[in-house]
Amino acid sequence: MALNPDQFHDHALTVADGDRRLPLARMTGWDISPFEQEGLRVTPLRPPVLPEPPRHGEDPADCQPCRERDEGIWVNDHWRLARVPGVGVPLVLMLYPRDHHDLEDLPDELAAELGLLTTRIARHVQALPNISRTHVYRFGDGAAHLHVWFFARPEGQAQLFGSWLVAWDDLLPEYPADVAEADAALVADALVASHGGHRSAAG
């Protein structure tokens, strides 16, 4: 059985200093880390908060993705794909079910389609010129409506490898929107060809 919240907190503090700061992560020593270890320190570990605060959109009546169910660059009967603006990497896309579901309550038929869509979107993003990889993420702590992130990792940028890509994305200057829009349109067209659906009029 997993440790309860207090046990987990107490266990983590066994390696913390007197200010409840954990040692720097091994990841900060990787050559792809966006931060130098000198001067970097960990935020003090706070005690657990119970009950956890509700996420955005726990009630479908207050759910923004539900209100935007027809918006994006591509839609089919069950899913929509949208471009995330204001990012630093070449392209960030987000896939949502059009109806209100999270990952753990996704019906089996939608779960099967999610697998196909994830593969196809990643393939189409990675086929864009000057893109080497597609990173795929699902977090789920901020919003109750399932949303899957697709990050395009630019070719040749070795510091942007791996799990630090999200941090680099937040540090980089905003990528040219017109280039990202054109690439998103290419992905949407390729998705129509490989998976059906259609380009969204709102995209």
pLDDT along the chain (203 residues), means of 10: 95 95 93 94 96 95 96 97 97 98 97 98 98 96 97 96 95 97 98 96 57
Query: Are 80 and 72 contacting, i.e. CB atoms less than 8 angstroms apart?
Result: yes
pLDDT for position 2: 94
pLDDT for position 128: 98
CATH of 60-199, one of 1.10.390.10, 3.30.70.60, 3.40.50.1970, 3.30.428.10: 3.30.428.10
Whole-model pTM above 0.85?
yes
- Within the chain, which residue ranges are assigned CATH 3.30.428.10? 60-199
Rounded to whole angstroms, the Cα distance separating 121 from 184 reads 11
pLDDT for position 202: 56
**Residue 69 CB neighbour total at 10 angstroms:** 17
Alpha helices in the chain (DSSP H): 5-13, 64-67, 108-126, 165-171, 177-195
pLDDT for position 200: 84
Interhelix angle 177-195/108-126, rounded to 10 degrees, is: 130
